[in-house]
Amino acid sequence: MNKLKLVMIGNGMAGVRTIEELLKIAPGLYDITVFGAEAHPNYNRILLSPVLAGEQTVQDIVLNSWEWYEENGITLHAGKKVVDVDRVRRIVRAEDGTEAAYDRLLMCTGSTPFMLPVPGKDLKGVIAYRDIADTDYMIEAARTHRHAVVIGGGLLGLEAANGLMLRGMKVTVVHVMPWLMERQLDDVAGKLLQGSLEERGLNFMIGAQTQELVDNGEGQVGAIRFKDGTELPADLVVMAVGIRPNIGLAQQIHLHCERGIVVDDTMQTVTDARIYSVGECAQHRGVAYGLVAPLFEQAQVAANHLAQMGIGRYAGSQTSTKLKVTGIDLFSAGEFMGGEGCEEIVMSDPVEGVYKKLVIKDGKLVGACLYGDTADGSWYFKLLRERSDVSGIRDELMFGGPHD
Ligand SMILES: Cc1cc2nc3c(=O)[nH]c(=O)nc-3n(C[C@H](O)[C@H](O)[C@H](O)COP(=O)(O)OP(=O)(O)OC[C@H]3O[C@@H](n4cnc5c(N)ncnc54)[C@H](O)[C@@H]3O)c2cc1C
């Protein structure tokens, strides 16, 4: 009997997780073909930061080896970017002409880093931080150059800055907002974080606005110039100012896209019943996620439907954040800034460098921001996700969950 054909575009974390789930519940249902623009098997993108910091190697972070694809009968076209999909004939075509026919198509193209549209952004030495190639580029730059500037003091920017510093570069983080990681931390925690990173040797320019990246005369970046006219030397500029769902191909083949590829609660695209989408490229109930935990939940639901079980529903996710800079403990989730109708319970110990803020609304924990002691982060996150009534334990809440 001819098997159904499943083709996946994008050999990244969300897509491969979907296939893993599918193989668990419906092994043998499909002939599977995977196209990946990167010339690597699926790896743990999150762990690029420890690789940059010299704590792990690229080999350590591979999630699915070449053999895994072979053992599971998956045809992998690594290093082949898909440039077209014929939705009528149901054929996918890669840049080099490789084609594959499908009965079901899974679009998992991830995100594209946003590059600030400033003069000089195309100079050599100006990069984003997304994949193994970027990480290798930074490791090489640190061997041969001295001054690095990271634009963006969010999670990704700080992890890049920390890695480059550990590799011996003099690093300045340029952040236009009033404090670091403003989307995950309040001002108190953001400033504590800045203090700890300064003690380790990072430099910061908070509130600075980038005007231009300056050519060193050889087509390579040599400096960064700010709106106030000041300049800093920069042999390497890493832009970490945000990501955009990678929807170019989806738009080209007329799938309905807003910020991401619009999918329903089964992760099926709203345009074409044969096409599913999971990961950072997908937009579900108006949200395109940028962290892996929700993407793995999406993967489970998509696998369930690809397996023709038809019962899974994705209802959206709560997200939480940790920073992967060794020795810095930070956790944030939910509505950590508080606001109208919220009460805040705050504990601050500046000497120990510990700060905790819990936000409660209508008897429920709706946000948490922890710095310096994150031992109870997962307990708070559980309360938050389960929307538990915490009125009865309000007084003990700050002291954390059940301890052994
Ligand atoms: C340095 C770094 C640190 C991070 N740290 C964390 C963290 O601590 N916690 C967390 O939750 N998240 C973290 N993230 C984010 C996390 O890695 C992403 O959310 C996750 O990888 C997204 O999975 P995805 O499958 O949607 O996209 P990706 O993993 O990016 O996979 C998409 C793949 O599709 C390929 N592709 C795109 N277009 C095509 C095409 N036309 N043809 C073929 N292939 C194509 C891309 O090359 C890519 O390999 C981090 C990201 C980075 C870069």
> CA–CA distance from 315 to each of 213, 243, 295, 379 (Å)?
43, 23, 12, 22
Residues 31 and 12: beta-carbon distance below 8 Å: no
Over the Cα atoms of the chain, what is R_g?
23
- Two structure tokens written together for 315: 């209802």
Provide the pLDDT for residue 351. 87
- The pocket around ligand 1, CB under 6 angstroms, is made up of 9-15, 35-38, 45-46, 48-49, 81-82, 108-110, 129-130, 156, 159, 246, 249, 279-280, 290-293, 295, 324
- The torsion angle over the Cα atoms of residues 391, 397, 398 and 402, rounded to 10 degrees, is 180
> Which among 7, 8, 9, 13 is the best mutation to test ligand 1's pocket, defined by most ligand atoms within 8 Å of the CB?
13
Write the residue with the smallest CA distance to atom 53 of ligand 1: 130
Only one residue has tokens 């983080």, namely 173
Ligand 1: centre distance to CA 67 (Å): 22
- Using one digit for the tens of pLDDT, what is the confidence trace for 227-250? 999 999 999 999 999 999 999 999
Write the residue with the smallest CA distance to atom 51 of ligand 1: 46
> Which among 45, 332, 374 is the best mutation to test ligand 1's pocket, defined by most ligand atoms within 8 Å of the CB?
45
Topology given in CATH for the domain delimited by 4-112+243-306:
FAD/NAD(P)-binding domain (3.50.50)
Provide the pLDDT for residue 1. 67
Provide the pLDDT for residue 386. 93
Domain 320-399 grouped into CATH 3.30.565.10: no
Residue 203 CB coordination number (10 Å): 15
Write the residue with the smallest CA distance to atom 11 of ligand 1: 291
- Using one digit for the tens of pLDDT, what is the confidence trace for 62-96? 999 999 999 999 999 999 999 999 999 999 999 99
Low-confidence ranges of the chain (pLDDT < 70): 1, 403-404
- Stretch(es) of the chain classified as CATH 3.50.50.60: 4-112+243-306, 126-239
CATH code for residues 126-239: 3.50.50.60
- Stretch(es) of the chain classified as CATH 3.30.390.30: 320-399
Residue 139 CB coordination number (10 Å): 16
E strands of 255-311, at which residues?
Answer: 261-263, 275-277, 282-284
Provide the pLDDT for residue 92. 98
- Closest ligand 1 atom to Cα of 80: 43
Provide the pLDDT for residue 403. 58
Provide the pLDDT for residue 339. 86
Ligand 1: centre distance to CA 289 (Å): 11
Ligand 1: centre distance to CA 249 (Å): 16
- Two structure tokens written together for 381: 């996150």
